């Protein structure tokens, strides 16, 4: 082994998260990760299992960079939740067969600040309302697009559905979000008491 190679490996080891750091990230961010998984699966037990599975897979796989650990944890948890909900997601594809999205703005990605605000809004929204009002495909697309900034094509590949279905589901989810349906739990609670 060359000296350069051993120095490079030492630098890489310092930049990658240790198993203890991975476990700590998943524990520290458990509420966020469980919430994202729950929004996809619609089932709390499956969501908790998705987080555990994502953590185990991260520890067993190649260690992510320390600076990207939370992003990695989100992506791994979302992937695990999608695998738990694959059948329900795929069943929804037929409902979007003939739908089109007339909103060009739905294709663009938010900048970092808008994305963080959208993620906070979705995480603070009443999960039961979100699950009741959006089908599994819409929820998965919404979480993928907002939480880990997936493209339409990436969503289609991850969900194993057509690009057209993802475009239509994304349109429905974005319209739902823009129309104020993703209100924080407190606002939903206050609005129900005001009626």
pLDDT tens-digit readout, 59-70: 998 889 999 999
pLDDT at 117: 81
Instruction: Say whether both 48 and 3 belong to one domain.
Output: yes
Based on the structure, what is the number of domains in the chain?
2
Instruction: Say whether both 183 and 162 belong to one domain.
Output: yes
Instruction: Say whether both 117 and 169 belong to one domain.
Output: yes
What lies within 8 Å, CB to CB, of 33 at 6+ separation is: 26, 51, 54, 73, 74, 77
Query: Where is average pLDDT lowest: 18-27, 99-108, 156-165, 182-191?
Result: 182-191
Instruction: Say whether both 68 and 94 belong to one domain.
Output: no
Instruction: Say whether both 78 and 100 belong to one domain.
Output: no
Instruction: Say whether both 70 and 93 belong to one domain.
Output: no
Instruction: Say whether both 194 and 115 belong to one domain.
Output: yes
Contact call for residues 133 and 181 (beta carbons, < 8 A): yes
Between residues 174 and 75, the one the model is more confident about? 75
Domain that holds residue 31: 1-84
State which of 51, 84, 117 marks the end of a domain: 84
Instruction: Say whether both 91 and 155 belong to one domain.
Output: yes
pLDDT at 57: 95
pLDDT over threshold 80, residue 3: no
pLDDT at 97: 81
pLDDT at 110: 61
pLDDT tens-digit series, residues 75-126: 999 999 999 999 999 999 999 887 666 545 545 566 667 778 888 988 998 9
pLDDT over threshold 50, residue 4: no
Instruction: Say whether both 118 and 147 belong to one domain.
Output: yes
Q: Which residues of 85-114 are buried (b: 16+ CB within 10 A; e: fewer)?
A: beebbeebbeebeeeebeeeebeeeeeeee
Instruction: Say whether both 91 and 57 belong to one domain.
Output: no
- Inter-helix orientation angle 30-41/44-60, to 10°: 120
Mean pLDDT score of the chain = 84
Instruction: Say whether both 104 and 191 belong to one domain.
Output: yes
pLDDT over threshold 60, residue 73: yes
Note if the pTM is more than 0.75: yes
Instruction: Say whether both 46 and 101 belong to one domain.
Output: no
Distance CA 138, CA 154 (A): 14
């Amino acid at each position: 082994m060359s000296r350069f190679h051993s120095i490079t490996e030492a630098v890489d080891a310092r930049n990658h998260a240790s198993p203890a750091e991975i476990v700590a990230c998943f524990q520290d961010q458990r509420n966020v990760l469980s919430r994202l998984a729950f929004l996809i699966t619609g089932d709390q037990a499956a969501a908790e299992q998705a987080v555990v599975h994502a953590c185990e897979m991260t520890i067993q796989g190649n260690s992510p960079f320390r600076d990207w650990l939370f992003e990695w944890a989100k992506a791994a948890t979302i992937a695990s939740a999608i695998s738990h909900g694959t059948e329900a997601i795929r069943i929804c594809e037929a409902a979007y067969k003939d739908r089109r999205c007339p909103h060009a703005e739905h294709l663009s990605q938010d900048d970092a600040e808008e994305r963080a605000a959208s993620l906070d809004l979705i995480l603070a929204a009443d999960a039961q309302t979100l699950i009741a009002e959006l089908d599994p495909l819409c929820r998965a697309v919404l979480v993928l697009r907002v939480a880990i900034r997936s493209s339409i094509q990436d969503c289609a590949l991850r969900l194993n559905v057509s690009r057209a279905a993802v475009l239509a589901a994304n349109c429905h989810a974005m319209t739902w979000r823009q129309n104020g349906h993703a209100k924080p739990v407190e606002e939903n609670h206050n609005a129900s008491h005001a009626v």
